[in-house]
Chains A and B, each alone.
Chain A
Amino acid sequence: MTPPEDSAVALDALVKRYGATTAVDGLSLTAGRERVTALLGPNGAGKTTTIEICEGFRRADGGTVRVLGLDPVADARALKPRVGVMPQSGGVPGTARAGEFLRLVASLHARPLDPAALLDRLGLAEHARTPFRRLSGGQQQRLSLAVALVGRPELVFLDEPTTGLDPQARHATWELVEELRAAGVSVVLTTHHMEEAERLADHVVIVDHGRVVAEGSPAELTGAERQLRFRARPGLGLDELLAALPAGSAAKESPAGHYLVEGDVRPELLATVTAWCASHGVLTEDLRIERRTLEDVFLELTGRELRS
């Protein structure tokens, strides 16, 4: 494991309670420098609390926190200029104009980005004089991202950076995050979007009930396991099919007419399934072999639907 001072964020056995509720329950994770780390989890899993402890907004009730090797509360003065923060929502006065607020935050830093160029890059150039409350939800999100980046930080925390964005804006944000990593910025983000984590993150940490339930690169998490899916008429005798398959295989129909076969998916297994279908006069449609997605892993681990 990387020593805490060499990582962007190092959390060890972090605990945070609100009254009787334990929001973060012994969470440990390491986010590498110049890497994109995604915290993935259902609502209420403790992602935002964890991020806010890293930002120095909340104090942990237990465990240790190191951000760029420093304590977010005790070393706040040294840390703030080096860290960019994009909160989940708000943080800008409703009457403040977009460009005005960005220029303010820029002027609090020693070597900021050019606010006008940053607005332009985020598609907000024509809204520079628009009051924050008149911006659409997606525009507010982009301004908030700009505010997090304008001080040229070496680490940024992005709390749900693409929630509420349309597909174009989401892709543009993803490109910007990729550029940040290429420029040597460490990024820690939270998300509900599997696609976002899969596309952006070097390291995905799946959090549920305030704990880490799995972590690794997207490839490591989804593993080498493959699965076979096909559509056919509903109500096939799956017990009979299973008997023909190698031990350890599993088959299920859900929803009706949609079949999933899991196990050691090799050419022989594919041949067995198609032969069994042929012998029962079943014509399969949409037959495909695929890797598990991050979403499959996520649902398996957290046992619940994503509520985004």
Chain B
Amino acid sequence: MTASSPAPRLDLTPAPGAAPPAKMIAAQTRYELVALLRNGEQLLLTLIIPVVLLTLFSATSLLDLGPGKRVDFLAPGVLALAVMSTAFTGQAIGTGFERRYGVLKRLGATPLPRSGLILAKTLTVVLVEALQAVVICAVALALGWSPHGDPLSVLALLLAGTAAFSGFGLLMAGTLRAEATLAAANLVYVLLLAVGGVIFPLDKFPAPVRSALELLPISALADGLRQVLQHGAALPGKPLLVLAVWAVAGLVLAARFFRWE
């Protein structure tokens, strides 16, 4: 502060009041979206890794992906990976550090209710996923992808997957230390990338292992998307059920155990 320029007068007379709920949620969503898109590590996770995996394994024959075009197998898996990276990994790490640095507490002192904050975070996740889907689909189409199936079934699977991953992302962010969340969320990402049928087909695993792996949310999402987009199936019941169970479990646990500070 310098003494040279006279301080401008501010009208400090009290005039309290909350903005309308829709305006608060829009402001919080815009803020979260800008913060996320500016974060380089987040972009690596949400866009660069999925696009690189899609391009690398579509354009080369490094992996045996079964019959058919490689990109037809890979694109649904990479879409599932994109959902996991944003709804689970990114959200867990971002929210975990917000909790650690008292940001959640600080926002708790504003008129924005907690439900509004959660809604804004969810909207942010959905908007980032939409951006990811556009980029991944564009790259896949350029690589010769020929998608099938009903777009509404795809949307239902993506939303169920988002709910399942968000629940566990928030559960982790709201219960573990931020550093532990950072490590665990990245570890889970790498593990599920490896064993969740994202780019490595699950039928390479022995049958009992495979049945267990199919119950993972990432496998259910990748498999469901593949059934629709690669094989033109109608709304796939089993993957949707698996995702719904994970979603209910994660959201109930997060609502019960999430600590704001």
Q: For B113, give its contact among A77, A87, A120 (CB under 8 Å).
A: A77
> Is there contact, CB below 8 Å, between B35 and A108?
no
B108 within 8 A of A: yes
List 29 A-B pairs, Cβ < 8 Å: A57-B105, A57-B261, A80-B109, A81-B16, A81-B17, A82-B16, A83-B109, A85-B109, A87-B106, A87-B109, A91-B105, A94-B101, A100-B34, A107-B19, A107-B27, A108-B18, A108-B28, A108-B111, A113-B11, A113-B12, A120-B8, A121-B10, A123-B1, A152-B13, A152-B15, A153-B14, A154-B14, A175-B7, A179-B10
Q: For A108, give its contact among B10, B39, B112 (CB under 8 Å).
A: B112
Among the stretches A22-30, A180-188, A258-266, the one at the interface with B is A180-188
Q: For A93, give its contact among B23, B35, B108 (CB under 8 Å).
A: B35
A128 within 8 A of B: no
A122 within 8 A of B: yes
Q: For B35, give its contact among A96, A151, A152 (CB under 8 Å).
A: A96
Known: A77-B113, A109-B19. 14 other contacts (CB 8 A): A56-B109, A81-B16, A83-B16, A87-B105, A91-B101, A91-B105, A92-B106, A96-B35, A108-B18, A111-B16, A117-B10, A154-B16, A175-B7, A179-B12
> Is there contact, CB below 8 Å, between A111 and B17?
yes
> Is there contact, CB below 8 Å, between A111 and B111?
no
- Enumerate chain A interface residues (CB-CB to B < 8 A): 55-57, 77, 80-83, 85, 87, 89-96, 100-101, 104-105, 107-111, 113, 117-118, 120-123, 147, 149, 151-154, 168-169, 172, 175, 179-180, 183-185
> Is there contact, CB below 8 Å, between A110 and B17?
yes
Which B residues lie within 8 Å of A82 (CB)?
14, 16
Scan B1-33; emit 1 where CB is below 8 A from any A CB, else 0.
111000110111111111100011001100100
- Which residue of A is nearest B18, CB measured? A81
Which B residues lie within 8 Å of A57 (CB)?
105, 108-109, 261
> Is there contact, CB below 8 Å, between A122 and B1?
yes
B61 within 8 A of A: no
Which A residues lie within 8 Å of B39 (CB)?
95
B98 within 8 A of A: yes
User: Distance (Å) between the CB of B93 and the closest chain A CB?
Assistant: 12
> Is there contact, CB below 8 Å, between B7 and A111?
no
Q: Is the interface of B mostly helix, strand, loop or mixed?
A: loop
Q: For A105, give its contact among B11, B35, B101, B110 (CB under 8 Å).
A: B110
> Is there contact, CB below 8 Å, between A91 and B106?
yes
The answer for the CA separation of A108 and B16 in the assembled complex, in Å, is: 11
B38 within 8 A of A: yes
B103 within 8 A of A: yes
The answer for the CA separation of A185 and B10 in the assembled complex, in Å, is: 13
The answer for the CA separation of A117 and B7 in the assembled complex, in Å, is: 10
> Is there contact, CB below 8 Å, between A185 and B103?
no
> Is there contact, CB below 8 Å, between A107 and B15?
no
User: Distance (Å) between the CB of A89 and the closest chain B CB?
Assistant: 8
- Which residue of A is nearest B14, CB measured? A154
The answer for the CA separation of A100 and B17 in the assembled complex, in Å, is: 20
> Is there contact, CB below 8 Å, between B12 and A111?
no
User: Distance (Å) between the CB of B206 and the closest chain A CB?
Assistant: 45
> Is there contact, CB below 8 Å, between A111 and B10?
no
Within 8 A of A (CB), among B100-139: 101-103, 105-106, 108-113
Which A residues lie within 8 Å of B108 (CB)?
57
Q: For A110, give its contact among B2, B18, B38 (CB under 8 Å).
A: B18
> Is there contact, CB below 8 Å, between A152 and B14?
yes
Which B residues lie within 8 Å of A175 (CB)?
7
The answer for the CA separation of A95 and B17 in the assembled complex, in Å, is: 28
Which A residues lie within 8 Å of B112 (CB)?
108
Shortest 3 CB-CB contacts between residues of A and residues of B = A91-B106, A110-B17, A123-B1
User: Distance (Å) between the CB of A170 and the closest chain B CB?
Assistant: 10
B10, B18, B109, most chain A CB atoms within 10 A: B109
Which B residues lie within 8 Å of A104 (CB)?
27-28, 31
User: Distance (Å) between the CB of B178 and the closest chain A CB?
Assistant: 12
Scan B218-232; emit 1 where CB is below 8 A from any A CB, else 0.
000000000000000
- Which residue of B is nearest A118, CB measured? B10
> Is there contact, CB below 8 Å, between A183 and B27?
no
> Is there contact, CB below 8 Å, between A168 and B3?
yes
Which A residues lie within 8 Å of B7 (CB)?
121, 172, 175
> Is there contact, CB below 8 Å, between B15 and A111?
yes
The answer for the CA separation of A231 and B112 in the assembled complex, in Å, is: 60
- Which residue of A is nearest B28, CB measured? A104
- Which residue of A is nearest B39, CB measured? A95
Tell me whether A185 and B17 are in contact in the complex, defined as CB-CB below 8 angstroms, given that A87-B105, A95-B35, A123-B1 are known contacts: no
Which B residues lie within 8 Å of A184 (CB)?
13-14
Which B residues lie within 8 Å of A111 (CB)?
15-17
> Is there contact, CB below 8 Å, between B106 and A109?
no
> Is there contact, CB below 8 Å, between A185 and B12?
yes
Which B residues lie within 8 Å of A93 (CB)?
35, 97-98, 101, 103
